[in-house]
């Protein structure tokens, strides 16, 4: 008797695959390039900004956080999807 696939694992696997497809698309690559550009520009500005310019430091930290978070969210979704896929493949054997 075949094992039933856990619905949550199946949803995570499907979502992870959708994120991977998005990531590899022209739109995904465009967003990734912009994210990396924004991250690098903010980091360079942070290196040279006056340590007393608190408002600009806070703004640049926010830009870096946003860029890192966007990339991390997509990466985490893909990793979770791959893990779920491996679990599902193991149940299929």
| Torsions phi, psi for 25 (to 5 deg) | -75, 170
In a domain, 46, yes or no: yes
pLDDT digits (tens, 9 = 90+) for 60-89: 999 999 999 988 888 888 888 888 878 777
User: Domain for residue 70, yes or no?
Assistant: yes
For residue 43, what are its two tokens?
Answer: 């980091």
> Domain residues for 87?
7-92
Quick one: pLDDT at residue 1? Answer: 42
- Which DSSP string corresponds to the chain? -PPPPPHHHHHHHHHHHHHHHHHHSHHHHHHHHHHHHHHHHHHHHHHHS-TT-HHHHHHHHHHHHHHHHHHHHHHHHHHHHHHHHHHHHHHH-
pTM: 0.68
30 belongs to a structural domain: yes
Classify residue 1: in a domain, yes or no. Answer: no
Tell me how far apart the alpha carbons of residues 87 and 35 are, in angstroms, rounded to a whole number.
32
Q: For 30-45, how does the pLDDT look when each residue is reduced to its tens digit (9 = 90+)?
A: 998 999 999 999 999 9
Number of domains in the chain: 1
Does the structure show a pLDDT above 60 at 51?
A: yes
Q: What is the pLDDT of residue 4?
A: 62
Using alpha carbons, select from 39, 40, 46 the residue that is nearest to residue 67: 39
Q: Is residue 81 part of a domain?
A: yes
3 confidence band (pLDDT: 50, 70, 90): low
**Using alpha carbons only, what angle is made at residue 11 by residues 4 and 68, rounded to the nearest 5 degrees?**
145
The chain-wide mean pLDDT, for the chain, equals 85
Higher-pLDDT residue of 18, 87: 18
Q: Is residue 63 part of a domain?
A: yes
């Amino acid at each position: 008797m075949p094992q039933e696939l856990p619905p949550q694992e199946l949803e995570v696997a499907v979502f992870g695959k959708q994120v991977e497809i998005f990531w590899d698309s022209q739109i995904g690559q465009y967003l990734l390039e912009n994210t990396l550009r924004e991250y690098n520009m903010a980091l360079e500005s942070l290196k040279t900004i006056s340590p007393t310019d608190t408002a600009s430091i806070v703004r640049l930290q926010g830009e870096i956080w946003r860029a890192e978070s966007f990339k991390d969210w997509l990466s985490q979704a893909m990793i979770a999807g791959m893990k779920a896929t491996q679990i599902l493949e193991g149940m299929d054997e």
